[in-house]
């Protein structure tokens, strides 16, 4: 008769299988088999981590092997696109210290970084984008759809205020100096007024004087080119447009979009006509904004995807600017259809009807 212990071991080995059969050196009649090793995992079983898509894998591989992407990371630039603008500026000398620059479609901010560096000190850079992104140091930004007339009006009103977006100098004074240099409220208001207001009032005073002198047979005072530009709201020196239509956001709301806006930025859709047509709409909006805000002698740079309508855009640019160039920077990938129009030195006289006529 078997003991209770041996009977339990026989029952466990039959019910649970050979993997759980205990090794028993005390019972020669059981002929215990050695414990088996674990079987490999079933390949059809669900994985804990989903595999990356083929397009994502290709993009990561390309970025990892890209010289400009590596160099941008080393230099602390937002993206490799900074080298495109650096190359264009090296060739055409777009920026000077103290300029006002508007960067359309600034996210993630590499072009604004370059512009802020090249226009310092006392320059100002204003970036506009529909995608929320962390602005580079020293850059003012407005989030909104640039194709909206309300957003365009907001940008025009912002840049026409000369005091907005410029770095302020911090001064430290002692109590004695503060008493000696104390000013009245009227003097403080006068100091806080922007140079546009000052020149506007100076122009009005001059107009009154010129009216009086004209009645006495004197000649009417003529305005300078800068004053004529400011009267019409043209105060921007350089307009940059690296805009592309972003994908509609349907997922990924949990992501940190302020620091990583790439998942909503459009590279290309794979449909050449769609990419080209979308870029032409954005370029025309940028050119219209440039016509309204660029001062005489200002510059304009816009990205476009090559196609049938690019010639019409080039013709309009030639009506407004003295020189128009096509550029394909070395840092732009050879397989990409993107290119850039670089329009230099805006003319003063052409009207909007002349520029945008078919």
**Among all residues, which ones are annotated catalytic?**
303
Q: What is the DSSP string of 21-89?
A: PPP-SS-TTT-PPPPPPPPPPPTTSPPSSPPPPHHHHHHHHHHHH-HHHHHHHHHT-S-TTHHHHHHHH
Measured in degrees and rounded to the nearest 5, phi and psi for residue 340 equal: -135, 140
> What is the Cα–Cα distance from 169 to 76, expressed in whole angstroms?
26
- Is the four-CA dihedral 53, 258, 154, 348 of positive or negative sign? negative
Q: Which residues contact 188 (CB under 8 A, 6 or more apart)?
A: none
Angle of helix 149-160 relative to helix 272-293, nearest 10 degrees, comes to 40
Greatest Cα pair distance, the chain, in angstroms, is: 141
Please state whether the peptide bond connecting residue 108 to the residue before it is cis, i.e. omega within 30 degrees of 0: yes
Q: What whole-number distance in Å separates Cα of residue 226 and Cα of residue 80?
A: 36
Nearest Cα to Cα of residue 344 among 293, 282, 297: 297
> How is 120-152 classified by DSSP, letter by letter?
-SS-EEEEEESS--PPPTTEEEEES-TTSHHHH
């Amino acid at each position: 008769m078997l003991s209770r212990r041996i009977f339990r071991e026989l029952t466990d080995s039959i019910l649970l299988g050979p993997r759980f059969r205990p090794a028993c050196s005390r019972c020669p009649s059981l002929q215990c088999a050695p414990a088996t090793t674990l079987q490999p995992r079933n390949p059809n079983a669900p994985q804990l981590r989903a595999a990356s898509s083929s397009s994502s894998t290709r993009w990561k591989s390309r970025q990892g092997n890209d010289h400009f992407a590596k160099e941008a990371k080393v230099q602390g630039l937002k993206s490799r696109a900074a080298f495109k603008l650096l190359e264009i500026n090296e060739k055409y000398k777009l920026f000077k210290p103290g300029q006002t620059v508007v960067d359309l479609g600034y996210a993630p901010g590499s072009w604004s970084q370059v512009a802020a560096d090249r226009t310092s000190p006392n320059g100002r850079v204003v970036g506009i984008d529909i995608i929320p992104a962390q602005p580079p140091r020293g850059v003012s930004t407005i989030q909104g759809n640039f194709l909206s007339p309300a957003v365009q009006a907001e940008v025009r009103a912002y840049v026409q205020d000369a005091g907005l977006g410029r770095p302020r100098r911090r001064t430290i004074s002692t109590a004695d100096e503060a008493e000696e240099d104390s000013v009245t409220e009227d003097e403080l208001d006068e100091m806080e007024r922007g140079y546009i207001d000052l020149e506007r009032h100076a122009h009005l005073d001059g107009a009154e004087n010129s009216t009086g002198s004209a009645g006495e047979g004197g000649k009417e005072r003529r305005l300078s080119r800068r004053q004529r530009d400011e009267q019409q709201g043209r105060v921007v020196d350089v307009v940059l447009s690296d805009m592309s239509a972003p994908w509609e956001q349907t997922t990924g709301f949990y992501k940190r979009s302020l620091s990583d806006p790439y998942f909503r930025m459009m590279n290309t859709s794979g449909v050449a006509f769609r990419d080209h047509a979308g870029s032409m709409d954005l370029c025309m909006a940028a050119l219209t904004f440039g016509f309204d805000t660029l001062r005489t002698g200002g510059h304009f740079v816009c990205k476009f995807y090559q196609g049938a309508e690019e010639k019409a855009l080039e013709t309009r640019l030639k009506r407004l600017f003295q020189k128009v160039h096509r550029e394909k920077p070395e840092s732009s990938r050879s397989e990409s259809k993107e290119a850039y129009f670089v329009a230099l030195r805006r003319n003063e006289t052409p009207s909007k009807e002349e520029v945008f006529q078919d």
